[in-house]
């Protein structure tokens, strides 16, 4: 939803189109809080290779001294064979999160998953992080449907974490997520569907 000023101006526009005019008052600003969006993410199926599922360059200085970013990534996961998974979250040269060794329960239906990662600068060269993962087993079919059903321990996997890092955000940094299966099988498949990365603006 666009944000607008509460008032408008009755003054006429000046002749110079390169300058701000009264009619520009409620126009959208150039840029915004969204850094990146991606709806064509890479699936990881039938391979043991560590595979990049999302990557983006964080522009130099975009986070200031106390800004940050928030990633929301969602999709589907099929786990119907023996194997475990490993998710890594990286910024620059630092692997911030490395979550692996825990497997979903085998199921013919797919899990719907959502991953939320928040990174916040403490200074321009130090960060605090949180991560939350939730996956819930869907009903039979290609895409898991939202349903009001009782969730048992075998129907869902929930994880959360907190970390720190010391990357200098005054320069551009690569933010990357990778996924790795412990075994190659067509019934071990991560299928991310979309990602949205939004800026947490620095304080003024």
Q: Picking from 7-16, 74-83, 170-179, which range would have the lowest pLDDT averaged per residue?
A: 7-16
Whether the Cβ atoms of residue 51 and residue 42 lie closer than 8 Å to each other: yes
pLDDT, tens digit, 9 for 90 and up, residues 78-103 = 999 999 999 999 999 999 999 876 67
List Cα–Cα distances, 167 to 41, 86, 128, 174, 204, in angstroms: 26, 23, 11, 11, 22
Q: What's the pLDDT score for residue 132?
A: 95
Cα–Cα dist 143/161, whole Å: 28
Q: Which of 2.30.30, 1.10.1740, 2.60.120, 1.10.3470 is the CATH number of 37-142+152-200?
A: 2.60.120
- The ranges assigned to domains in the chain are 37-142+152-200
Q: pTM of whole model > 0.75?
A: yes
């Amino acid at each position: 939803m666009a944000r607008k000023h509460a008032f408008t101006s009755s003054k006429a526009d000046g002749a110079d189109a390169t300058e701000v005019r009264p009619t520009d008052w409620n126009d959208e600003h150039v840029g915004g809080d969204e850094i990146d969006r991606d709806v064509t993410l890479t699936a990881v199926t039938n391979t043991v290779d560590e595979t990049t599922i999302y990557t983006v360059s964080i522009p130099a200085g975009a986070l200031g001294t106390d800004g940050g970013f928030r990633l929301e990534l969602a999709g589907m996961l099929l786990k119907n064979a023996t194997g475990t998974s490993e998710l890594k979250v990286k910024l620059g040269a630092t692997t911030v999160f490395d979550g692996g060794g825990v497997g979903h329960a085998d199921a013919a239906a797919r899990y719907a998953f959502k991953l939320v990662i928040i990174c916040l600068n403490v200074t321009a060269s130090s960060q605090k992080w949180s991560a939350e993962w939730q996956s819930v087993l869907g009903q039979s079919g290609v895409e898991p449907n939202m349903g009001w059903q009782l969730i048992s321990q075998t129907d869902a996997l929930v994880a959360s974490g907190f970390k720190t890092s010391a990357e200098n955000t005054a320069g551009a940094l690569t933010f990357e997520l990778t996924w790795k299966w412990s075994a190659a099988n067509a019934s071990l498949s991560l299928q991310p569907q979309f990602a949205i990365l939004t800026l947490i603006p620095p304080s003024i």
